[in-house]
Amino acid sequence: MTSGEIELETKPHKKSVLGYVIELVVYIVLMYACIALVPEYVMQRTVVQGESMEKTLYTNESLLVEKFTKYFKSPAREEIIVFSPHKDTDEYYVKRIIGLPGETIQIKGNDVYINGNKIEDVHKKSESMYGSGIAGNQITLGEDEFFVMGDNREVSLDSRDESLGPIKASQIEGKVVLRIWPLDKFGVPK
């Protein structure tokens, strides 16, 4: 050591008890965000029950539902969504969007018409459906309403049924973005 140099002794830094408590609180807040906030506002898993979406989705398939973009972008035609038909219930439906806000919907026989034009309905399971329901006559959707149908039109309880009717944007939980189970069907359901 030369003259004028000072030798500094370094010791390992010890955390105080307060430092550990603060770190623990931060971890608890992060865990809470992952456990409670992510499923509520970002992404949630749901399991299909019933035949209404067959040809596309089957009973016991697990899906990831993205819940965030609905706050910034309106759902699009043919997207598969999850919605709650009644406010104070844990009952959810999985259906496909057919009609968008402001459109006129009518079902004639087995064909769906939007604004008077027959749509190419590639997702339906068969050529027949159980009926046109409330869409036997033209209905015009409100500015926040969507007309939804299951792909298996012979058994689906959907917007054709008077008890359900068109759904409001506020009822939509999110859109299906990924089938995660079974693994041999892993991917984006079309």
Residue 114 in any domain: the answer is: yes
Active-site residue, from 3, 14, 15, 52? 52
Q: Are 47 and 61 in contact (CB under 8 A)?
A: yes
Q: Has 62 been annotated as catalytic?
A: no
Query: For position 50, which CATH number holds?
Result: 2.10.109.10
Residue 48 in any domain: the answer is: yes
HSE, CB side, 13 Å, CA atoms: give it for residue 96: 22
**Domain of 56, in residue numbers:** 38-185
Predicted local distance difference test score (pLDDT) of residue 120: 86
Active-site residue, from 95, 124, 125, 175? 95
How confident is the model over 139-150, as pLDDT tens digits?
999 999 999 999
Q: How many domains does the chain have?
A: 1
Sign of the dihedral through C-alpha 75, 80, 82, 83: positive
Q: Has 95 been annotated as catalytic?
A: yes
Residue 190 in any domain: the answer is: no
Residue 5 in any domain: the answer is: no
Residue 150 in any domain: the answer is: yes
Q: Is the pLDDT of residue 5 over 90?
A: no
Residue 62 in any domain: the answer is: yes
Residue percentage of the chain with pLDDT more than 90? 31
How confident is the model over 57-94, as pLDDT tens digits?
999 998 989 988 888 888 999 999 999 887 777 788 99
pTM: predicted TM-score of the whole model, two decimal places: 0.77
| 90: three-class secondary structure by DSSP | coil
